[in-house]
């Protein structure tokens, strides 16, 4: 059967929809027996070595020429159909669920094509010197919880909490242990030899001291709206007398009233490849953010919930730290997206920054000094959230062996942790890229594997490498073998050109 075919010297990828241009038409003979999808054709002309592609209008299909064979002056070509070119218009007009695309890109979907390496970039910056500063003897508030019959308005649960400086606490002890202080005993008792030292052995005023501890803040830093002046201290029923200056007593004028409230900011540096490869690189485990925060220990926080807030130009994102300490030394740390701590909470930790101290006494069995304060109330379970990524070449991702750093809990009953400097550490894990990084993302992915898209879209609106979901919807009058071949190309990846 003699028909016409158009021949081309054509360069294209086998899995491409690209069509040829400027061909030359020749009369051909279809060698019998033959078929539509893989015809054998005969051409009566000179050496066709440069012709590698053809279109047969009678079959309305494009073909790759596998080889030419010379036979008694005739050239015989074995052909195989190019289904992506033959059905190009129907394919591009179809709407599919596209998993990967060279031009469409959801920057929040992790790209498993990139293998994480053991190369990490760690930066550490000092956030603040500490929760408070040296020398600690001058920057500590001494708290004494005393039972007495003083003004009930300055009491918490019936106990008066006195806030004292170093000088004041020394004067209080001097009064309590001074033999000349009769604690209200009159002349009659003195005539019977009931001196101050003897009176303390009968009724020791120290037994009315319910609790003693220190807070890591200077008394001058505590707001006056939280304190009231106490001119004369009473220990139990006995007046201690003036110590030369007014003493401050805590007044709970509203619940949760902190004695310390501080705010700081953190700059979250983005992954250096997030602008070109996707913002998913700013999340765990490719980017880790860890705060070393004195009494709160080490605080890791995951930013996956706020990745959409990171700027596309790679600039840093600011989060806020809010630290509060109440009158009992119970401290809270909140890392959030809002300066008032009411935004998206990335981390919340509790610690105890109060340090109890004991007071000696002259009478046994009356007092039990030193309350064991509550330790850290919150802990983290760290783990490799994403896990390792295994490539088709069995290259083990660096994530497989990326064990999380052990968390350190805040310590209690020591001043040292409150004076430790706070530091913020950012770790960026490198990825083994499959190409040289260039400025435009379209150039990066156009001839490679594309980037995650996961969107229902018309294929004709895309260009470059594309991968569709395996639920292909394509209504075309094709043979079964053709449909199977098109399905394989679309689900395994093809180039729209």
Rounded Cα gap, residues 106 and 452, in angstroms:
6
Q: How buried is residue 279: exposed, middle or buried, by Cβ count under 10 Å (0-12/13-18/19+)?
A: buried
Instruction: Compute, in degrees rounded to 10, the torsion defined by CA atoms 459, 462, 468, 471.
Output: -20
pTM above 0.95, yes or no: no
Phi and psi at 238, nearest 5°, equal -105, 130
Which long-range contacts does 282-285 make (Cβ < 8 Å, 24+ apart)?
Answer: 282/307, 282/310, 283/110, 283/307, 284/385, 284/386, 285/116, 285/384, 285/385, 285/386, 285/399, 285/402, 285/429
CB contact at 8 A, 295 and 417? yes
Rounded Cα gap, residues 279 and 297, in angstroms:
29
Instruction: Give the pLDDT of residue 98.
Output: 95
Residue with tokens 């209008």: 57
The two tokens of residue 305 are: 């919930």
Rounded Cα gap, residues 445 and 439, in angstroms:
11
Rounded Cα gap, residues 242 and 15, in angstroms:
94
Instruction: Give the pLDDT of residue 262.
Output: 82
CB contact at 8 A, 334 and 348? yes
Weakly modelled stretches of the chain, pLDDT under 70: 1-2, 128-138, 151-153, 177-203, 223-225, 241-245, 252-257, 360-421, 432-448
CB contact at 8 A, 425 and 406? no
Instruction: Give the pLDDT of residue 6.
Output: 96
The two tokens of residue 127 are: 């956030």
Rg of the chain taking only CA atoms, in angstroms: 40
- Which of 255, 259, 261, 268 has its CA nearest to residue 322? 261
């Amino acid at each position: 059967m003699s028909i016409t075919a158009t021949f081309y010297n054509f360069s294209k990828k086998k899995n491409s929809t690209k069509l040829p241009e400027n061909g030359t038409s020749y009369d051909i003979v279809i060698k019998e027996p033959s078929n539509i999808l893989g015809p054998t054709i005969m051409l009566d002309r000179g050496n066709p070595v440069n012709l590698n592609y053809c279109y047969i209008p009678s079959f309305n299909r494009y073909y790759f020429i596998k080889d030419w064979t010379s036979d008694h002056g005739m050239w015989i070509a074995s052909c195989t159909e190019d289904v992506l070119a033959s059905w190009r218009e129907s394919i591009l007009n179809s709407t599919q669920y596209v998993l990967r695309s060279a031009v469409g890109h959801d920057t929040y979907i992790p790209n498993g094509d990139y293998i994480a390496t053991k190369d990490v970039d760690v930066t550490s910056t000092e956030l603040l010197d500490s929760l408070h500063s040296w020398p600690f003897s001058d920057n500590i508030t001494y708290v004494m919880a005393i039972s007495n019959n003083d003004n009930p308005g300055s009491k918490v649960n019936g106990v008066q909490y006195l806030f004292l400086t170093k000088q004041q606490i020394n004067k209080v002890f001097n009064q309590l242990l001074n033999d000349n202080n009769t604690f209200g005993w009159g002349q009659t008792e003195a005539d019977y030899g009931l001196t101050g030292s003897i009176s303390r052995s009968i009724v020791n005023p120290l037994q009315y001291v319910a609790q003693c501890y220190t807070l890591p803040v200077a008394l001058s830093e505590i707001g006056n709206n939280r304190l009231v002046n106490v001119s004369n201290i009473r220990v139990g029923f006995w007046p201690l007398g003036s110590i030369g200056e007014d003493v401050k007593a805590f007044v709970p004028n509203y619940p949760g009233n902190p004695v310390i409230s501080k705010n700081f900011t953190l700059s979250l540096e983005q992954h250096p490849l997030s602008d070109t490869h996707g913002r998913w690189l700013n999340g765990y485990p490719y980017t880790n953010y860890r705060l070393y925060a004195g009494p709160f220990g080490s605080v890791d926080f995951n930013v996956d919930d706020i990745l959409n807030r990171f700027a596309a130009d790679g600039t840093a994102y600011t989060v806020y730290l809010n630290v509060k300490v109440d009158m009992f030394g119970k401290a809270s740390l909140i890392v959030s997206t809002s300066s008032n701590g009411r935004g998206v909470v990335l981390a919340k930790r509790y610690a105890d920054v109060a340090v109890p101290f004991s007071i000696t006494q002259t009478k046994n069995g009356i007092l039990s000094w030193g309350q064991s304060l509550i330790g850290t109330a919150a802990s983290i379970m760290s783990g490799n959230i994403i896990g390792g990524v295994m490539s088709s070449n069995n290259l083990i991702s660096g994530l497989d062996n990326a064990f999380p750093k052990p968390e350190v809990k805040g310590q209690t009953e020591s001043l040292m942790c409150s004076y430790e400097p706070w530091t913020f550490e950012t770790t960026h894990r490198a990825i083994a890229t499959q190409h040289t990084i260039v400025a435009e993302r379209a150039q990066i992915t156009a001839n490679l594997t594309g980037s995650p898209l996961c969107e229902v879209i018309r294929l004709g609106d895309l260009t470059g490498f594309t991968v569709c979901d395996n639920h292909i919807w394509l209504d075309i009058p094709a043979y079964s073998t053709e449909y199977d071949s098109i399905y394989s190309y679309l689900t395994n990846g093809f180039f729209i050109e």
